């Protein structure tokens, strides 16, 4: 039986530790939590479009100052081809249902090109996300799954 590498039922929630470092003359750090909630699914042109609400609560530190980020919402769209169950997210495409329990997707960067790594685990979803963008404006952003709440 194939494993579901990204359970995308409406109501599912994923709780991540969030970290972001940015340097472009001045260093800044953002640390906190980001919650993802699958809020809707729609069908169009043979695809399912899942809308995920991302909610960030964190501390933003820069140049000796600290600001609080509360309920900063953004949205992510995940597309699934209905005929093949291929998921598209963050520029990656992969089979949602696989015979392996874990996968890691990588886009290797170069000195001036960004790199991106995502790992997914059966019946849990995205375990980690790491984005690094050099050289003039260095950005290092990570998400690490802490827990999840799946609808029955």
* pLDDT tens string 63-108: 889 999 999 999 999 999 999 999 999 999 999 999 999 999 999 8
Separation of alpha carbons 73 and 11, rounded Å: 16
pLDDT at residue 39 tops 90: yes
Domain boundaries, the chain: 3-146
pLDDT at residue 135 tops 80: no
pLDDT at residue 110 tops 90: no
Q: What is the DSSP string of 55-82?
A: EEEEEEEETTEEEEEEEEEEEEEEEEET
Segment 105-130 shows an average pLDDT of: 91
Choose the weakest-confidence range: 16-20, 52-56, 90-94, 132-136.
132-136
Separation of alpha carbons 20 and 22, rounded Å: 7
Separation of alpha carbons 38 and 11, rounded Å: 5
Separation of alpha carbons 99 and 89, rounded Å: 20
Q: Is the pTM of this model over 0.85?
A: yes
């Amino acid at each position: 039986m194939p494993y579901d590498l990204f359970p995308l039922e409406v109501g599912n929630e994923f709780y991540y530790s969030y970290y972001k470092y940015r340097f472009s003359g001045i260093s800044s750090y953002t640390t906190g939590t980001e919650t993802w909630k699958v809020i809707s699914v729609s069908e169009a042109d043979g695809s399912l479009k899942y809308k995920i609400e991302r909610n960030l609560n964190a501390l933003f530190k820069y140049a000796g100052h600290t600001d609080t980020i509360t309920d900063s919402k953004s949205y992510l769209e995940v597309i699934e081809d209905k005929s093949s169950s291929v998921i598209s997210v963050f520029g990656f495409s992969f089979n949602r249902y696989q015979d392996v329990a874990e996968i890691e997707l990588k886009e290797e960067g170069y000195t001036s090109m960004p790199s991106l790594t995502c790992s997914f685990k059966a019946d849990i979803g995205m375990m980690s996300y790491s984005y690094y963008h050099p050289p003039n404006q260095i950005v290092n952003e990570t998400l690490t799954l802490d827990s999840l709440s799946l609808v029955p």
